[in-house]
Amino acid sequence: MKVRYLGHSCVEIIGQHHIVIDPDFTRQPMAGVEFICVSHAHKDHLGKVAELPGGIVLASADVCEIAFKMGVPRQRLHPVAAGEQVENIKVLPGFSVVKDFMHSLMNLLIRRRLPDAGGTPLSFFIQDEAGLLHVGDAHKVPLKIQADIFCLPWRTSPINPENYKSALLEMAKQMAAPYLLPIHYDLAGMEADPAEISSRIEATVLLGEGWHLFNGKKLVSEK
């Protein structure tokens, strides 16, 4: 199994299946994607879904409708809900903020507009050699999942940035995953240095743009 970060909230996994999560990548995934998981419909999570030529989209029904309007053929859309299982992909409740006053305010401050419709959020647990949990850009996750790799949405909030980072670290500590894959840290206006995570939490932080290779639950190489 191998995992890499593709920019914004996008993660690519190649193992039992070729999976891309949150397709608003800044670096192109490899060809042959089988499943595209979408945590919610904000542009920085869904924006390039129609650019992928293949793959079944797994998302909430309302998010699938947004993807359809963006140009994804109906036959590639597979609406799912928390509790469902598709191959080695477990669908879990989502906690990305889609209807919140502070989220709307930050969008007005940073992007000078209200946020796009987010739809019903989901999280995804990829059950492979190592278990990978992706929660979108949530900062509180009341899930009892023992993941080996936790995709940590690391970013600088324009309001109380240190408190926000502390909340993210607390979430990571509660998840207690031995490996953290920082994501979302390159979003314009909310950039953060993922290297600083290592000094603040006892976990192996998977840095860089290359592949992280796992044999079973153990990281064996990075390239």
pLDDT score recorded for residue 118: 85
Helix (H), strand (E) at residue 204: strand 204-205
Residue bearing tokens 């994607």: 33
The model's pLDDT over 81-131, given as tens digits with 9 standing for 90+, comes to 999 999 999 999 999 988 755 555 555 555 555 567 789 999 999 999 999
Mean confidence (pLDDT) of the chain: 93
- Report pLDDT for 223: 80
Task: Indicate the SS3 state at residue 161.
Answer: helix
Q: Are 16 and 132 in contact (CB under 8 A)?
A: no
The reported pTM is 0.93
pLDDT higher than threshold 90 for residue 21: yes
Question: What percentage of the chain exceeds 90 in pLDDT?
Answer: 85
Tokens 């990305």, residue? 96
Q: Is the pLDDT of residue 198 over 70?
A: yes
Question: For the segment 37-68, what is each residue's pLDDT rounded down to a tens digit?
Answer: 999 999 999 999 999 999 999 999 999 999 99
Cβ distance 130 to 47 under 8 Å? no
- Indicate which CATH number applies to the domain containing 81: 3.60.15.10
DSSP-assigned letter for residue 172: H
Q: Tell me how far the alpha carbon of residue 82 is from its chain's centroid.
A: 16
Q: How many structural domains does the chain have?
A: 1
Task: Please tell me the predicted confidence (pLDDT) of residue 102.
Answer: 55
Report the distance separating Cα 74 and Cα 147, nearest Å: 32
Instruction: State the Cα angle at 183 between 162 and 72, rounded to 5°.
Output: 135
- Residue 102: Cβ-neighbour burial (10 angstroms; 0-12, 13-18, 19+): exposed
Q: Residue 69: pLDDT above 90?
A: yes
Expressed as residue numbers, the domain containing 39 is 2-222
